[in-house]
């Protein structure tokens, strides 16, 4: 199956597996999906429910240093809690940018799981919040998943009763939608060229 590929899943409850059983979280199911494709992935789940981008930035250094080996790829899912608390998008952007800058310095590739502002926050907020992910992904050469929850949004059978977190079936739908992006990011050569 080839050498083990180390991935760090770094984010909030969407990675931590809020409301799910062991083994049902996005990182756990993604690891299985990658292995089914012959990618010997080992994903460390560093998701902390409730984390904002500020909290994530505060623990990024420590989390990286506490890994047994340097991850080849970091999957970032942060910003949802900033948005749910109506924190200023400029802060969300600055925190995410600091994380991407830090990972780029260490030559660690990134998959950025994008978020969209909830409609009830209004157009003004959405206009400031929604472009953060595509703009930063482009600036730092990260692989962008434009909207992480796209496969489950407005599908009651795929969302928990809080309408925020996916069910186990929802996680599987998200994994199916994103595994190609993650595999491509992991297998791309560092110079940006694709796999021959």
Q: Catalytic positions, please?
A: 13, 162, 165
Rounded to the nearest angstrom, the gap between the alpha carbon of residue 131 and the centroid of all alpha carbons in its chain is 16
Q: State how far the Cα of 192 lies from the Cα of 93, in Å rounded to an integer.
A: 24
Q: State how far the Cα of 191 lies from the Cα of 103, in Å rounded to an integer.
A: 15
Sheet containing 109-113: which strands, arranged edge to edge? 41-47, 5-11, 73-77, 109-113, 143-145
Q: Tell me which residue of 89, 91, 95 sits closest to 117, measured CA to CA.
A: 89
To which residue do tokens 């993604």 refer?
30
Q: DSSP string covering 71-116, please? A: -SEEEEE-SHHHHHTT--HHHHHHHHHHHHHHHHHTT-EEEEE---
Q: Tell me which residue of 48, 51, 49, 7 sits closest to 28, measured CA to CA.
A: 7
Quickly count: other Cβ atoms within 10 Å of residue 72's Cβ.
18
């Amino acid at each position: 199956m080839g050498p083990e590929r180390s991935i760090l899943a770094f984010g909030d409850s969407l990675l931590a597996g809020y409301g799910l059983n062991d083994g049902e979280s996005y990182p756990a199911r993604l690891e299985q999906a990658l292995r089914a494709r012959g990618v010997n992935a080992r994903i460390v789940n560093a998701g902390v429910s409730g984390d904002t981008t500020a909290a994530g930035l505060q623990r990024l250094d420590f989390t990286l240093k506490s890994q047994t080996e340097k991850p080849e790829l970091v999957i970032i899912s942060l910003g949802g809690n900033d948005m749910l608390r109506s924190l200023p998008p400029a802060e969300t952007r600055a925190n995410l940018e600091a994380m991407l800058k830090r990972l780029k310095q260490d030559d660690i590739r990134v998959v950025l799981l994008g978020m969209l502002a909830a409609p009830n926050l209004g157009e003004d907020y959405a206009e400031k919040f929604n472009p953060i992910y595509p703009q930063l992904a482009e600036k730092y050469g990260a692989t962008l998943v434009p909207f992480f929850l796209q496969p489950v949004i407005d599908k009651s059978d795929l969302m928990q009763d809080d309408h925020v977190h996916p069910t186990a079936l929802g996680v599987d739908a998200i994994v199916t939608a994103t595994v190609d992006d993650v595999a491509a990011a992991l297998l791309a050569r560092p110079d940006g060229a694709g796999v021959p």
